Amino acid sequence: MKTVDAKTLRGWIEDTQELALLDAREDGEFGAEHLFWAVPCGMSRRETRARALLPRRDTRICVTDDGRGVARQLAAWLEGIGCTDVSVLDGGTKAWAAAGYVVFSGMNVPSKAFGEWVEHHYGTESVDAPELDAWIKSGKNMVVLDSRTQEEFNRMSIPTGISVPGGELVYRIGDLAPDPDTLVVVNCAGRTRSIMGAESLRRAGIPNKVVALRNGTMGWDLAGLTCEHGKTDRFAPGTPKTADLALRRATAFAHETGVRTITPAQLAQFEADPNRTLYVLDVRDPPEYRAGHRAGSVNAPGGQLVQATDTWVGVRGARIVLLCDTGARSRMSAAWLRLMGHTDVFVADGALQGGTARPAAPELSAAVSSIDVAGLAAALSDTAVVDLSRSVDFRDGHIPGALWGVRSRLAPLQTRLQAAKHVVIASPDGEAARLAVPEVRALAGKTPQVLAGGTAAWKAAGHPLEKNRLIPADEDCIDFYLRPYDRNSGVEEAMNAYLSWEIDLVHEIERDGTVRFGAAH
């Protein structure tokens, strides 16, 4: 197996060739320390993540970890699925730091650092929580727009706020705030999507005054104010009345940043090119994507794409093509990706239909057998249920008595699995459970069954879910980088630390020396 030292990898990061820098650890471990441009690809989710991040198997890949050997495991697996140019960073993050290079903590760091750069570069205006609270109470002419996902908004929101995920803001603002005297306030949970949402509206040139809520819902909590929970207020679906105006505004920003447009025929040529990695991303709202989309495209809602680009794009130097129906949302997202440093970003107008298929789905064990919800309910007392949900989702609700586990770390469950009469593997929709059958069989000494439809099917059938925020404990959540409000203790301290971390990123990227925002040409 090929290895590279830190100096060689640094050169690869700075050259113009394609590079996928994958970290083989689980998300919680990755979030503790990693290279700036590394993308999490933990062993427990390798089948789905690696295939999504690596559309082309012969791209240059470097795998890293913290020096304990898991990178070699992922590298061997990648070679086993046909990747032809795989190397391992010798010594991992420890060797990188020892060479004098900067190590970062957190998740989606390139996007969050970019958000801080945007605020500094454009002078994005913001408002503190107490002042916004006073405005709300006074009945000020304004709208509060939450730029997070609908799910996050439902969990907690600012009073009077409505859910308008970031990629929808420029597209829908003409309908949401037709009066130019209406103040527009954009918030998220922390900083990035507040800044990016507010600055998107400012870059689009809307006549309204626009401000970001400084530090988002965390700042609201830290100010002693109360968030609302369970709200469902959302933008009106469908094409907005002001869609043509949104397109004109987005086109101006896209032109300013050098975004190129291509035809469906040119996109087809890109799809047929075996020598370049291509990501075809549909930036529309998820319900629109589900209603119909181009074959081979992946849904990456615009605001979330910009704030978590490494979720969808794993290869530096790849081609990125964005799609939507009217062109406004794709142009806004493409403009920001250009400023983030992605040079080959295109908008394909009129290309929602047609296309080619994505790579084949992950292979599944031929020996998989399943059990339906009724069968599990009847046998539950004699069954060990292994739940592979994210730790934070397991806390929120799981099949009564289920054992939580990370697929790459199931050994601690061995005694209980061997003692049970039956073993069933569950996951949110059942797919991750199917992939884990070989590992569980080896530990249990018996063939496990997979819960058909996963825990979602269990819940849909009306069976109870057990909740316990203490299991797993914070320190055991290696699969997920806990946000401050996911923690069981020290929440306020964690919020302050998180906000300070975000603010300091703009200085850390200067130390790193490989980050050149705003320099895409």
Contacts for 361 with CB less than 8 Å, ≥ 6 apart: none
- CA-to-CA distance for 408 and 382, rounded, in angstroms? 25
Domain presence at residue 511: no
Q: What CA–CA distance (Å, rounded) separates 427 from 439?
A: 15
Q: 418: which residues sit within 8 A by CB, 6+ positions away?
A: 443, 444, 445, 446
Instruction: Please name the residues in contact with 507: beta carbons below 8 A apart, sequence gap of 6 or more.
Output: none
Residue 359 lies in a domain: no
Closest by alpha carbon to 158, among 195, 132, 191, 120? Answer: 132
In this structure, is residue 488 part of a structural domain?
no
* Percent of the chain clearing pLDDT 70 (strictly above): 97
Look at residues 190, 212, 236 and tell me which one is the last residue of a structural domain.
236
The 10s digit of each residue's pLDDT in 188-206 is 999 999 999 999 999 999 9
Model pLDDT for residues 373-398, shown as the tens digit of each residue: 999 999 999 999 999 999 999 999 99
CATH (domain of 438)? 3.40.250.10
Confidence (pLDDT) at 403: 98
Q: Write down the pLDDT at residue 36.
A: 97
Task: Tell me, yes or no, whether 232 lies in a domain.
Answer: yes
SS3 content of the chain, % helix, strand, coil (to 5): 45, 15, 40
Give the structural domain span for 465.
Answer: 369-476
- Determine, yes or no, domain membership for 510: no
Let me know whether 293 and 207 are in one domain.
no
Pair 390, 329 in one domain: no
**Among 365, 386, 493, which Cα is nearest to 437's?**
365
- Residue 417, exposed/middle/buried by CB under 10 A (0-12, 13-18, 19+)? buried
- 189 near 213, Cβ under 8 Å? no
CB contact set of 295 (below 8 Å; sequence gap of 6+): 354, 355, 356, 357
Return contacts of 7-15, CB within 8 angstroms, 24+ apart: 7/99, 9/62, 9/89, 9/96, 10/99, 10/101, 10/514, 12/60, 12/62, 13/37, 13/316, 13/514, 14/514
373: enclosing H helix or E strand: helix 373-379
Residues 478, 68: Cα–Cα separation, whole Å? 15
Per the structure, the count of domains in the chain is 4
Q: Clarify whether residues 142 and 69 are in a common domain.
A: no
Same domain? For 344 and 397 the reply is no
Asked whether residue 129 falls in the same domain as residue 160, the answer is yes
377 and 335 in one domain?
no
Q: What residues have CB less than 8 Å from 408, skipping those under 6 apart? A: 26, 42, 43, 44, 70
Residues of the chain with pLDDT below 70 are 358-367, 519-521
Sign of CA dihedral 423, 472, 381, 378: negative
Say what the pTM is: 0.95
Domain co-membership, 256 together with 341: yes
Residues 266 and 381 in one domain: no
> Are 425 and 385 in the same domain?
yes
Instruction: Say how far apart CA 394 and CA 401 lie, in whole Å.
Output: 11
pLDDT at 368: 87
- Residues 431 and 413: beta-carbon distance below 8 Å: no
- The rounded Cα 77 to chain-centroid distance in angstroms is 23
What pLDDT, on a 0 to 100 scale, did the predictor assign at position 521? 47
Boundary residue ending a domain (289, 318, 348): 348
Q: Are residues 314 and 393 in the same domain?
A: no
Based on the fold, state whether residues 219 and 274 are members of the same structural domain: no
500 domain-assigned: no
- Residue 154 pairs in a beta bridge with none
Q: Which amino acid is at 165?
A: P
User: Residue 146 is inside which H or E element, if any?
Assistant: strand 142-146
Spell out the alpha helix ranges (H) of 123-263: 129-138, 150-155, 169-176, 192-203, 216-222, 243-257
**Same domain assignment for residues 399 and 452:** yes
What count of Cα atoms within 13 Å lies in the side-chain half-sphere of residue 328? 24
Is residue 360 in some structural domain?
no
394: left (phi over 0), alpha (psi -120 to 50) or beta: alpha
Mean pLDDT across the chain, nearest whole number? 95
- Predicted pLDDT at 356: 82
Instruction: Look at residues 107, 128, 151 and tell me which one is the last residue of a structural domain.
Output: 107
Whether residue 28 lies inside any domain: the answer is yes
